[in-house]
Amino acid sequence: MKCPKCNTDNGQRSVCKNCGLFLYKADHRNAPKLSEKEIKQRDRQTILRVVKKALRFIAIIISTFIISFLVYLLLIFVFDIV
């Protein structure tokens, strides 16, 4: 990012290496301020995403257990092993 004061290119730095001016990222400064309702909605979406991910993880574990149980039953009844 270029310093608006002395025009030094500072790359990803947040403080100008030449004059010490604080450089804020434009997208942070210009981001529209979220209302409380929007923040709550965003939080809910974040939580929902985490819950969905957790549920998918649990579903994979449960299906793994069910499959191994079915294989176990298969071994007992079809092949008469165990």
Binding positions for Zn ion, rule: CB under 5 A: 3, 5-6, 8, 16, 18-19, 21
CB 25 → Zn ion: shortest distance, Å? Answer: 16
Nearer CB in complex with Zn ion: 15/73: 15
Nearer CB in complex with Zn ion: 2/44: 2
Read off the tokens for 8: 């030094």
**Cα distance between residue 67 and residue 60, in whole Å:** 10
CB 31 → Zn ion: shortest distance, Å? Answer: 23
Nearer CB in complex with Zn ion: 24/69: 24
**Cα distance between residue 82 and residue 73, in whole Å:** 10
* Residues whose CB is less than 8 angstroms from the CB of residue 81 and which lie 6 or more positions away in sequence, other chains included: 75
